[in-house]
Amino acid sequence: MAMTLGVIIGNRDFFPDRLVIEARKDLLTLFGEMDITPVLLGENDSKLGSVETWADAKRCADLFRAQRGRIDGVLVSLPNFGDEKAVADTLKLSALDVPVLVQAYPDDLTQLNVERRRDAFCGKVSVCNNLRQYGFPYSLTSLHTCAVLTDTFRKDLAGFLGVCRVVNGLRKARIGAVGARPNAFNTTRYSEKLLEAAGISVSTMDLSEALGDANRIADGDARVTRKLDEIRAYADSTGVPREALVRMAKLGLVLADWMEKYDIQATALQCWSSLQKNYGVNCCTLMSMMSEKLMPSACEVDVAGTVAMYALQLASGTPSALVDWNNNYGNDPDRCVLFHCGNWAKTFVPEIQIATAPILGTTLGEENTYGAMRGRTPPGPVSFARITTDDRLGEIRAYAGEGRFTDDPLDTFGCRAVVQVEGLQRLLRYVCLNGFEHHVAMNASSCAGVLAEAFETYLGWETYLHNGGGG
């Protein structure tokens, strides 16, 4: 995904000009490699295109304001000590509200002479001090100083781009809630007002409207036929009655039309029990297909869970799923079973099959639960995250962490995985003591640090980043 960064190259006039020239060249080379569009002063707009004086700050701020609709974040690069005030003034005058990354070049021990000395090690501390004074949140590189054309900085910059996607995406997210939460699930209650205060809007649709609109679509409608073909191409539907597939197709069309009408990016659906009683199918297959298309969809009208799914997707660029912290795995304290009756994106279950939901079927009739899915997640990395709207405290809180999917034996139905998380018992204790939900969002990537940085530094949410070693 191509992104745009505002760039401030700091300078201080009694340091060598060549350091600024070299840094600019390095940055443009790296941006070309990473498909990043820079917005920065031209070499003739100020001394070497750097930002050092009040006049430079005004010029750079004017440029940023003119491009504010495109700028995803700001990179402050210090090839030398830089001018701390000019950097902070630029951000203040630009009125940008995007993440900021501060990078400083290292000195070479063999070149601490006047011709090559940088002192950016010290300058970075001063820049950060000023950003803090001015009230700007900012991010740091993993090493205090690092050159631009290094693997360390490439990784840092990739992570920062993920932070930008999460912050900017959530601040304008539009979530669809379809139906009421199941009455037995107080755990999925949430505050629309707290979400709205963070920029996350919720649009609602009564489930009866969705089912009524679906029932009014003729079986022979050409759109139904195309949707049926899409469903059959997506997953193995062997043994699933055609009538159930047709119902799924119609409901899928209604949801797609509603999402398009209101610019909905993610949904949370009332997946039981009205759907089975009044329409005769599960909606898991449709939810799986939406999540695979990067339109995450969560069970049981868990809107906060959907937001966590969307955040993980923004960070990684890959589909997310909503799961239950569901079962212990024998006596292993660092392993557990993740489970849901079947709405995980195909990314997690490559050999996915459309099936029934045996647990719901015990009370709703298994013949009314076609549309659930089943399959096992193969080994690989996993990041997980949860946000909760804490109405008693009037705040949003979150946690995130990482682990691995394993290939340990597991004999059960539905969508399932065995996951290993170092320090799992400590994590679960934190979840329970802090009143988090039993649902957690997962993503087949390693991006928990990106989420924690986005949530806490820029969105202001108290966030626990689980460190298996003791953090």
181 DSSP 8-state letter: P
Nearest to 275 by CA among 416, 398, 415, 180: 180
CB distance 80 to 114 below 8 Å: no
Instruction: Report pLDDT for 300.
Output: 96
Domains along the chain with CATH numbers: 3-170 (3.40.50.10940), 174-465 (3.40.275.10)
Instruction: Taking each helix axis as running N to C, give the angle between helix 284-292 and helix 242-261, from 0 to 180 degrees, rounded to the nearest 10.
Output: 50
pTM of the model: 0.97
Per-10-residue mean pLDDT of the chain, 471 residues long, equals 95 89 97 98 96 98 97 98 96 98 94 83 97 98 98 98 98 98 92 98 98 97 98 98 98 98 98 96 98 98 98 98 98 98 95 96 96 98 98 97 98 97 98 98 98 98 88 50
Q: Is the dihedral of CA 443, 296, 270, 201 positive or negative?
A: positive
Q: Is the peptide bond before 50 cis (omega within 30 degrees of 0)?
A: no
**What pLDDT shows up at residue 244?**
98
